[in-house]
């Protein structure tokens, strides 16, 4: 059973440049992205900054309206939901953001912060809300007296626990984790990631986990999607994808991650240049100007995501193999089941 | 050799006292404001005479230390034989009441519109910002005189006029703060949690801009007090016979030529000290509470 399914999700921002200079450009932040997240599973999205990870998260959270494409929640298209349906969606999808110093209102007590989603969406008495706050604090491993303190009295890791408690207040089905550990000390990261995994096992949560830390994504996710300039270039089962990346970009990305052992030697793939501007993405495959294995076809033709040994890859290198471009959401769902 | 000397200088008890006194609290401005506030509150008990009724046979008496003065009228009397000290004391009450209420009124109006403008954006923002542009293009005092001429002089009219004249600075500053604030993650999370725009503005935006509003208010206090004195001086402020400091200056300025200096010097000193204290306190608060406003 999939919780959420995105099909051909696209978000363009218009970028006005000078008053006198040229035509208005369009930033293709997210361009035809499809994925599905199953009940109790995690989809990890990785990519460099500016690849559209965070915009994808905002689309799922309803903070941005998609330019085109659809999001289905439990089989129903969000755009066709009535007011009650939208409210149910909002209650089912919550978020934890990157910066624990910016995500808690400095002027509110912890109890008010955690209870806010509850009070906003449900008719609860002060006593019930307080009881739920105590429950949630215990769930994320914080002492009960934390409820009466202010955010500045906590460390980064504790603040992130508070943010998680708040996200869980409504017992959501899906939690969008937008770089939840990037701002934390390395020593705290593992604690928070393990807490998130425990909570997933305990509460049957689904996660949309967005990060640029590959080790964290590989540790957390069931499925990984790799994004480059607004498009998914490779998506598949987490461990297989991390062990044997197929797309040259995925290869480069994973070779750049630190090995788990200092003596471990691996082949380094160095990418020349910078991520190109999403206002004028390169023709054909968007990765071809930096790709170490590009050939003529890459510049002219956009590679489609194709099923390759149970994985989706968008690369002309694998065109020779007998593959068919299949309807993407369907295939994404298939991959989720395996 | 220079190092022990340095340490000795720094650790001397006198240096420590000086540091605390001068750096941490603006003692003199606070003392002046405190005294003026107390005087304003206890004006009825402190004033030796009725400030509005004079004895015509005792006109133009000089302060007690000058020849012809008496301790009956410590700071002398004016052209109607009213005690200058009593008028000064009741004038402090008018300055403080007008100053504080006008600042609060301007602050409430400006903060409200600034939050609306910054958070809602779109046409609301356009309307409010064009309105403040227009307001700022008008010379504030001329505008206030114009309004006073329309609604007529009275103390509470002056409060409203000054509030309506000076709200734009709040709106500008608060809007800027809100623009930065609404991109913060806790505001996004409040949207995800389903809070209404109204709730977000009240619970997430307002408490985080109130500091800046207070700092701005303390800076505006001096401006508003001097504006009230100016209006009263020009005859469109607090109507006579109420003893506003600006009015006392205006009444006494003719006497200046014939040596009745006490009619203008005392209210002038009062205005100067009060405005100076308010400004110094505001500067200190700004540096202390809100580093972002240092450029203001």
Question: What is the DSSP secondary-structure string of A112-128?
Answer: HHHHHHHHHHS---HHH
Q: Shortest Cα distance from A89 to chain B (angstroms)?
A: 10
Task: Note whether B207 contacts A166, CB cutoff 8 Å.
Answer: no
Top-confidence residue, A308 or A57 = A57
Which among A95, A98, A121 has the least Cβ separation from residue B194?
A: A121
Query: B185 and A107 in contact by Cβ < 8 A?
Result: no
- pLDDT tens by residue, A272-326: 777 777 777 788 888 888 888 888 888 888 888 888 877 888 888 877 654 454 4
Does the predicted interface ipTM exceed a cut of 0.90?
no
**In 10 A of CB A112, how many CB atoms?**
16
Domain A1-19+35-221 class in CATH: alpha beta
Q: Is B194 on the interface with A (CB under 8 A)?
A: yes
Cβ contact, residue pair B186, A91, below 8 Å: no
Q: Which of residues 205-234 of B touch A (CB under 8 A)?
A: 207-208
B188 and A121 within 8 Å at the Cβ level: the answer is: no
| CB atoms near residue B98 (< 10 Å) | 25
Residues shown for chain A: 338
Q: CA nearest B184 in A: which residue? A: A102
Contact residues, chain B, for A62 at CB < 8 Å:
192
Contacts of B204 in chain A (CB under 8 A): 105
Which residues are A206's β-sheet partners? A174
Which of A1-5, A264-268, B128-132 reaches the highest mean pLDDT? B128-132
Please tell me which residue of chain B has the smallest CA distance to A167.
B193
Query: Model confidence over A237-249: pLDDT tens digits?
Result: 888 888 888 888 8
* B185 to A166: CB separation less than 8 angstroms, yes or no: no
pLDDT band at A196 (very low <50, low <70, confident <90, very high): very high
B188 in contact with A at a CB cutoff of 8 Å?
yes
Closest CA to A336 of A121, A102, A110, A43: A43
B195/chain A closest Cα distance in angstroms: 6
Q: What is the pLDDT along chain B (296 residues), one digit of tens a residue?
A: 444 544 444 455 555 555 544 556 788 888 988 998 998 888 888 878 888 877 777 777 778 787 777 777 788 788 787 888 888 898 888 888 998 999 999 999 999 999 999 999 889 999 999 999 998 898 888 888 888 888 887 888 889 999 988 999 899 999 999 998 988 889 988 988 888 889 899 989 998 898 888 888 888 888 888 888 888 888 888 887 788 888 888 888 888 888 888 888 888 998 899 999 988 888 888 777 755 554 44
Instruction: Give pLDDT, residue B294.
Output: 46
Do B184 and A102 count as a contact with CB atoms less than 8 A apart?
yes
Q: Which residue of A has its CA nearest to B188?
A: A63
d(CA A283, nearest CA chain B) in Å: 34
Q: What is the pLDDT of residue B23?
A: 58
* Residue A145 parent element (H or E): none
Question: Does pLDDT of A233 surpass 70?
Answer: yes
- pLDDT (0 to 100) of residue A337: 47
pLDDT attached to residue B296: 43
Query: Which pLDDT belongs to residue A335?
Result: 53
pLDDT in the model for residue A136: 92
Question: In chain B, how long is the greatest CA-to-CA distance?
Answer: 78
Q: What is the pLDDT of residue B2?
A: 45
Q: Kindly identify which residue of chain B lies nearest to residue A94, measuring between CA atoms.
A: B192
* The pLDDT value given to residue A52: 85
What does the DSSP 8-state code read for residue A278? T
Name the residue among A97, A106, A163 with its Cβ closest to that of B208: A106
- Chain B residue closest to A103 (CA)? B186
Q: How far apart are CA A289 and CA B208, in angstroms?
A: 46
Considering chain A, tell me which residue range(s) the CATH 3.40.50.300 domain(s) occupy: 1-19+35-221
Average pLDDT, chain A: 83
* Residues of B with Cβ-Cβ distance to A99 under 8 angstroms: 185
- Is the four-CA dihedral B261, B262, B263, B266 of positive or negative sign? positive
Cβ neighbours, 10 Å, residue B242 = 19
Residue of B nearest to A60 (CA): B192
Which secondary structure element, helix H or strand E, spans residue A280, and what is its range? none
| CATH entry, B23-295, from 3.40.50.2300, 3.40.50.300, 1.10.3720.10, 3.10.310.10 | 1.10.3720.10
Using a CB-CB cut-off of 8 Å, the residues of chain B touching A95 are: 188-189, 192
Q: Are B190 and A93 inside 8 Å of each other by CB?
A: no
Residue/partner pairs of A188-195 with CB below 8 Å, 24 or more apart: A188/A155, A188/A156, A188/A157, A188/A160, A189/A213, A189/A216, A191/A157, A192/A157, A192/A160, A192/A161, A192/A164, A193/A219, A193/A220, A195/A140, A195/A141, A195/A161, A195/A164
Q: What is the 3-state secondary structure (H, E, C) of chain B?
A: CHHHHHHHHHHCHHHHHHHHHHHHCCHHHHHHHHHHHHHHHCHHHHCCCCCCCCCHHHCCCCCCCCCCCCCCCCCCECCCCCEHHHHHHHHHHHHHHHHHHHHHHHHHHHHHHHHHHHHHCHHHHHHHHHHHHHHHHCCHHHHHHHHHHHHCCCHHHHHHHHHHHHHHHHHHHHHHHHHHHCCCHHHHHHHHCCCCHHHHHHHHHHHHHHHHHHHHHHHHHHHHHHHHHHHHHCCCCCCCCCCCHHHHHHHHCCHHHHCCCHHHHHHHHHHHHHHHHHHHHHHHHHHHHCHHHHHC
- Give the pTM: 0.78
Q: Which residues of A touch B191 (CB under 8 A)?
A: 63
Angstrom distance (rounded) from CA A296 to CA A161: 50
């Amino acid at each position: 059973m999939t919780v959420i399914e995105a099909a051909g999700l696209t978000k363009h921002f218009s970028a006005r440049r000078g008053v006198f200079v040229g035509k208005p450009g369009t930033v293709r932040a997210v361009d035809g992205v499809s994925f599905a997240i199953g009940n109790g599973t995690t989809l990890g999205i990785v990519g460099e900054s500016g690849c559209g990870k965070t915009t994808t998260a905002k689309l799922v959270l309803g903070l941005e309206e998609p330019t085109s494409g659809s999001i289905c929640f439990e089989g129903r298209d969000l755009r066709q939901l009535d007011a009650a349906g939208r409210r149910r969606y909002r209650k089912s999808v919550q978020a934890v953001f990157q910066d624990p110093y910016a995500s808690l209102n400095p002027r509110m007590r912890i109890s008010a912060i955690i209870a806010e989603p509850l009070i906003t969406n449900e008719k609860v008495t002060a006593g019930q809300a307080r009881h739920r706050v105590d429950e949630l604090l215990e769930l994320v491993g914080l002492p009960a007296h934390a409820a009466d303190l202010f955010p500045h009295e906590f460390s980064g890791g504790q603040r992130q626990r508070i943010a998680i408690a708040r996200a869980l207040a409504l017992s959501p089905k899906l939690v969008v984790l937008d770089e939840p550990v990037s701002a934390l000390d390395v020593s705290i990261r593992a604690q928070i990631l393990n807490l998130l995994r425990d909570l997933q096992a305990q509460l049957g949560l689904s996660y949309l986990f967005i990060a640029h830390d590959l080790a964290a994504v590989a540790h957390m996710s069931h499925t990984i999607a790799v994004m480059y300039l607004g498009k998914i270039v490779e998506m598949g089962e987490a461990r297989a994808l991390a062990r044997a990346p197929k797309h040259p970009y995925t290869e480069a990305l994973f070779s750049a991650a630190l090995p788990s052992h200092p003596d471990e030697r691996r082949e380094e793939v160095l990418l020349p240049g910078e991520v190109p501007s999403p206002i004028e993405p390169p023709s054909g495959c968007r990765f071809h100007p930096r790709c170490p294995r590009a050939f003529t076809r890459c510049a002219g033709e956009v590679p489609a995501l194709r099923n390759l040994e149970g994985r989706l890859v968008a690369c002309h290198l694998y065109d020779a193999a007998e593959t068919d471009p299949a309807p993407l959401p369907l295939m994404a769902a298939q991959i989720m089941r395996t | 050799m220079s190092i022990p000397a340095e340490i000795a200088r720094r650790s001397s008890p006198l240096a420590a006292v000086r540091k605390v006194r001068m750096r941490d609290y603006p003692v003199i401005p606070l003392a002046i404001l405190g005294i003026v506030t107390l005087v304003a509150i206890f004006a009825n008990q402190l004033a030796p005479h009725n400030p509005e009724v004079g004895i015509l046979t005792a006109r133009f008496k000089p302060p007690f230390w000058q020849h012809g003065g008496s301790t009956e009228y410590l700071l002398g009397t004016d052209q109607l034989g009213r005690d200058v000290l009593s008028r000064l004391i009741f004038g402090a009450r008018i300055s403080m009441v007008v100053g504080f209420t006008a600042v609060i009124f301007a602050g409430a109006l400006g903060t409200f519109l600034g939050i609306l403008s910054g958070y809602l954006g779109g046409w609301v923002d356009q309307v409010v910002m064009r309105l403040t542009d227009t307001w700022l293009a008008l010379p504030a005092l001329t505008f206030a005189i114009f309004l006073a001429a329309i609604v007529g002089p009275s103390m509470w009219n002056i409060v409203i006029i000054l509030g309506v004249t000076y709200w734009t600075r709040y709106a500008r500053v608060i809007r800027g703060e809100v623009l930065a604030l609404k991109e913060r993650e806790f505001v996004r999370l409040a949207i995800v949690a389903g809070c209404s725009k109204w709730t977000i503005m009240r619970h997430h935006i307002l408490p985080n801009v109130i500091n800046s509003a207070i700092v701005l208010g303390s800076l505006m206090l001096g401006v508003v007090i001097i504006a009230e004195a100016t209006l009263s001086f020009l005859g469109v402020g607090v109507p006579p016979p109420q003893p506003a400091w600006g009015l006392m200056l205006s009444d006494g300025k003719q006497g200046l030529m014939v040596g009745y200096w006490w009619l203008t010097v005392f209210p002038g000193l009062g205005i100067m000290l009060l405005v100076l204290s308010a400004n110094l306190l505001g500067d200190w608060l700004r540096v202390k509470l809100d580093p972002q406003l240092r450029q203001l």
